[in-house]
Amino acid sequence: MGAFLATSPETSLRAVLQENFVQSIRFHDVTLRGSDTVQSILTFGASSILGRGVLVDLQVGIGLTTFAPKYTVILSGTYRFGTGL
C-alpha cells in the first residue's frame, strides 16, 4: 500500500508500506528456525529529473517488525545516452 505525489513535472514523492509474509520452511521434517516471519518496512522516496535523460531516485526504509532490516537506503540513477539516429 502506498501513496505517490507529483510535486512538479520533474519531481515525485512516495510513501509505501511493504509487507512480506514468509511461510515456514521444512527440510527433512525439520522446520528451519526463523522461517515463519512477517517483515514490514515503511519506505519513503523521491525521484527527480535533473536534466535531459538524467534521473535520480533516493529511497529510505525503516523496519517495523523484528525480522525486517532496521533500515535501508537506496540511491539509483539513470542516464540516457544519445543514439545519434
27-65 pLDDT, tens per residue?
A: 888 877 767 788 899 999 999 999 888 999 999 999 999
If one counts the domains in the chain, the total is 1
Q: Is 33 exposed, middle or buried (0-12, 13-18, 19+ CB in 10 A)?
A: exposed
Does residue 30 sit within a domain?
A: no
Range of the domain at 11: 2-24+36-78
Residue 64 · residue 40 · CB < 8 Å: yes
Instruction: Report the percentage of the chain scoring pLDDT > 70.
Output: 95
Asked if residue 29 belongs to a domain, the reply is no
- Note whether residue 85 is domain-resident: no
Q: Is 67 among the domain residues?
A: yes
Contacts of 23 (CB under 8 A, 6+ apart): 35, 36
- Per-residue model confidence (pLDDT) at position 80: 82
* Confidence class for position 85, pLDDT limits 50, 70, 90: low
